[in-house]
């Protein structure tokens, strides 16, 4: 391998690494701005959200509101760590991660039921499809309308079992 081939490989590797460092949208409360900032050929968020809407019947604004609330459109979002002795970073409060903040068990269920074994929680397209799948199942099993953003989010935040039992007064959801 010549020197120029090696240089090309290094340049491509650096470009790929830098492309993985995409920043979250600057104006997260404006879905049009979010879509404008993420309209690339390979990572078009509007197209991904529209595909999820077509597949699951949940409107794009509902999907985007859920992702906004869960992660602020940060691909690497994680819950905070607890503190050991009040100052030593310790375990995280849950396994939630990525755009959708899906828990490990729920993500595994999604992968199993949809056959999306390669899906990643840090991929916007995969995460928004997950949110659509979750809201669709909520609608089918709990009777929540697919355009009822508030109750779909309550069920998403609390989980199907807690929502079904009527545990809807959680102040954390109200924020």
Q: Which residue has the higher pLDDT, 76 or 169?
A: 76
In terms of DSSP H, where are the helices of the chain? 3-19, 31-37, 45-56, 60-71, 104-114, 124-142, 149-158, 160-165, 171-174
CATH of 24-174, one of 3.40.50.1820, 1.10.8.870, 1.10.530.10, 3.30.300.20: 1.10.530.10
- Per-residue pLDDT of 58-104, as tens digits, reads 999 999 999 999 999 999 998 887 888 888 888 878 889 999 999 99
Residue 10 has a pLDDT of: 62
Q: How many residues does the chain have?
A: 175
Residue 113 near residue 140, CB atoms below 8 Å: no
Instruction: Look at the pTM and tell me if it is higher than 0.95.
Output: no
Query: What span, in angstroms and rounded, lies between the C-alpha atoms of 79 and 74?
Result: 12
Q: Give the model's confidence band at 18: pLDDT under 50 very low, under 70 low, under 90 confident, else very high.
A: very low
Q: Where are the domains of the chain?
A: 24-174
pLDDT at 173 over 60: no
DSSP letters for 130-141: HHHHHHHHHHHH
- Give pLDDT tens digits for 33-42: 999 898 888 8
CA distance 55 to 39: 20
Percent of the chain with pLDDT over 90: 61
Residue 89 vs residues 35, 82, 86, 94: alpha-carbon distances, Å: 35, 6, 9, 14
Evaluate whether 153 touches 166 at the Cβ level (below 8 Å): no
Residue 85 pLDDT? 86
Where on the phi/psi map is residue 158: left (φ > 0), alpha (ψ -120 to 50), or beta?
Answer: alpha
């Amino acid at each position: 391998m010549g020197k120029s081939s090696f240089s090309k490989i290094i340049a491509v590797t650096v470009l790929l690494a830098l492309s993985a460092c995409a920043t979250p949208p600057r104006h997260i409360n404006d879905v049009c701005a979010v879509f404008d900032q993420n309209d690339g050929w390979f990572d078009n968020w509007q197209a991904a959200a529209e595909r999820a809407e077509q597949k699951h019947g949940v409107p794009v604004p509902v999907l985007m509101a859920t992702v906004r609330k869960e992660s602020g459109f940060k691909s690497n979002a994680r819950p905070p760590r607890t503190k050991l002795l009040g100052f030593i970073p310790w375990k995280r409060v849950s396994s939630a991660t990525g755009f959708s903040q899906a828990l490990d068990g729920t993500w595994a269920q999604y992968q199993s039921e949809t056959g999306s074994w390669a899906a990643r929680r840090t991929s916007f397209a995969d995460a928004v499809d997950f949110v659509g799948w979750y809201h669709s199942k909520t609608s089918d099993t709990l009777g929540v309308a697919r355009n009822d953003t508030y109750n779909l989010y309550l069920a998403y935040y609390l989980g199907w079992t807690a929502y079904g039992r009527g545990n809807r007064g959680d102040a954390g959801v109200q924020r």
